[in-house]
């Protein structure tokens, strides 16, 4: 007999109902559901999408769908969780790997990895941008906190470069947020960027513009 | 007796039904409807918003509402028209007013006016960003064309500065699109920017970063 269980989402304090006992399978199926759901949500809108629409898009029965997810709202929570976890992991991973680099090298490497993660989860980032305005206070705070930690990470890098004399005096808060915007812009305006630039060209070009703006100089 | 009339929208080839004979009043009422509608659309989603929701938000009866607008779809067309017209006017106005400026002065002035227009119609720009993915081919092409003309205008300014030796060799297409992104970022991420910057501070700071990136220099 199927027993309803709750598998905790990786972040936050919500439990989401499943009828499966296989934790790894639940994670895998949910990741697949989340990926497709974001695609459907950004075209039909979150409110305009039914569980039936999602099941149909995935080529599954609604029953098979409810095996892993309790309700549409659960998918939204999974997406928020995933985004937050993703940003945490990015910062932790980067802090380790850039330890011995100059500030300019560290910025280059961090921007590259950051933009790659936007490319990998493009639909998710677009959807999260859209849904931000609908979130309740707690969810919104959680999302803003995660975004702030990424921004803080880039700001530290910029400040280190300024202290080392590698970068000129600049508004590091604004520059750090501009780096965050580079990722969002890549996915939100992909209809434009992808006409003219590959991700690699975008990364190299934007990094060059950024370093031109901040590298210590004597004007000609 | 009320007679259904069609008042042409300012751009494109659509007619929108009205029962009013007063063309100026129709324009005014529609502008008011569009402004409120964008606010409701970005919180409830376009699909999730009914004409009744919109009338309620405006404190009007549904009947009063239908006096000026034939259907929800008409509001979407008015919004698209308004955005396109707005961008056309921006470019025409700027071409005139910057004629005698240096490239750096022209960029400063154009960015300032551009960002002001985003501030003034913030909800509309946010909504247009969201709805882009749902548009049919023709509407989408119209929107992309208008955005491209703004981008082209900034690119010309950047190229002029390069030819005059005022700016260094740069990817002008990427830089021009980054300026367009400055406006979108201001409204899409206002929950972040407005915590730390006024529009005036944002404009000055971003212009300084941009000019630092493109001004011809000898490295220290």
Distance, CA of A152 to CA of A177 (rounded, Å) = 9
Do A170 and B212 lie within an 8 Å CB cutoff? yes
Over the stretch B112-130, which tens digit does the pLDDT of each residue have?
A: 999 999 999 999 999 998 8
Interface test mutation site (partner A, options B115, B125, B133, max chain A beta carbons within 10 A): B133
- Gap between the Cα atoms of B104 and B102, Å rounded: 5
CB A4 within 8 Å of CB A19: yes
Say whether B217 and A214 touch across the interface (CB within 8 A).
no
Residue identified by tokens 């910025």 is A107
How far is the CA of A179 from the CAs of A183, B178, B207, in angstroms?
A: 7, 12, 16
Which residue does chain A place closest to B215, by CA atoms? Answer: A219
Q: Tell me how crowded residue A136 is: count the other CB atoms within 10 A of its CB.
A: 7
pLDDT tens track of chain A, all 220 residues?
Answer: 455 555 555 545 567 777 777 778 877 888 888 888 999 998 888 888 899 999 888 888 888 778 888 888 889 999 999 999 999 999 999 999 999 999 999 999 999 999 999 999 999 999 998 888 889 899 999 999 999 999 999 999 999 999 999 999 999 999 999 999 999 999 999 889 999 999 999 999 999 999 999 998 765 4
User: What dihedral angle (degrees, nearest 10) is formed by the CA atoms of B76, B79, B85, B91?
Assistant: -120
- Residue A88: is it exposed, middle or buried by C-beta count within 10 angstroms (0-12/13-18/19+)? middle
Helix (H) and strand (E) counts for chain A?
10, 3
User: B214, A217: Cβ pair inside 8 Å?
Assistant: no
Band (B220; pLDDT cuts 50, 70, 90):
very low
The pTM (predicted TM-score) of the whole model is 0.87
CB-based contacts of B95: which residues, under 8 Å, 6+ apart? B153
Interhelix angle B103-120/B199-214, nearest 10 degrees: 150
ipTM of the assembly?
0.85
Q: What is the pLDDT of residue B5?
A: 58
* A171, A172, A204, A210: best to mutate for the B interface, most B CBs within 10 A: A171
Verify whether the Cβ–Cβ distance B189 to A184 is below 8 Å: yes
Query: Confidence band (pLDDT; 50, 70, 90) for B94?
Result: very high
CB B171 to CB A209 under 8 A?
yes
Positive or negative: CA dihedral A38, A42, A44, A48: positive
Q: Which pLDDT does position A139 carry in this prediction? A: 93
A142: Cβ contacts below 8 Å, ≥ 6 apart: A11, A12, A80, A84
**Domains in chain B: ranges and CATH:** 5-73 (1.10.10.60), 79-214 (1.10.357.10)
Residues of B in contact with A122 (CB under 8 A): none
Chain B hits for A190, CB-CB cut-off 8 Å, are none
């Amino acid at each position: 007999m199927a027993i309803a269980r709750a598998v905790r989402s990786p972040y936050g304090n919500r439990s989401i109902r499943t009828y499966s006992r296989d934790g790894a399978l639940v994670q895998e199926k949910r990741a697949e559901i989340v990926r497709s759901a974001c695609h459907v949500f950004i075209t039909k809108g979150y409110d305009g999408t039914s569980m039936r629409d999602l099941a149909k898009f995935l080529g599954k029965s609604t029953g098979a769908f409810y095996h892993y997810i309790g309700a549409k709202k659960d998918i939204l929570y999974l997406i928020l969780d995933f985004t937050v976890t993703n940003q945490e992991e990015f910062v932790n991973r980067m802090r380790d790997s850039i330890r011995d680099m100059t500030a300019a090298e560290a910025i280059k490497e961090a921007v590259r990895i950051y933009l790659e993660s936007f490319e990998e989860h493009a639909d998710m980032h677009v959807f999260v941008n859209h849904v931000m305005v609908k979130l309740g206070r707690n969810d919104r705070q959680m999302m803003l906190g995660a975004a702030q930690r990424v921004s803080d990470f880039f700001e530290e890098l910029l400040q280190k470069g300024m202290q080392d004399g590698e970068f000129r005096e600049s508004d590091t808060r604004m520059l750090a947020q501009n780096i965050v915007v580079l990722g969002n812009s890549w996915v939100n305006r992909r209809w434009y960027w992808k006409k003219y630039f590959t991700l690699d060209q975008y990364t190299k070009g934007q990094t060059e513009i950024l370093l031109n703006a901040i590298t210590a100089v004597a004007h000609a």
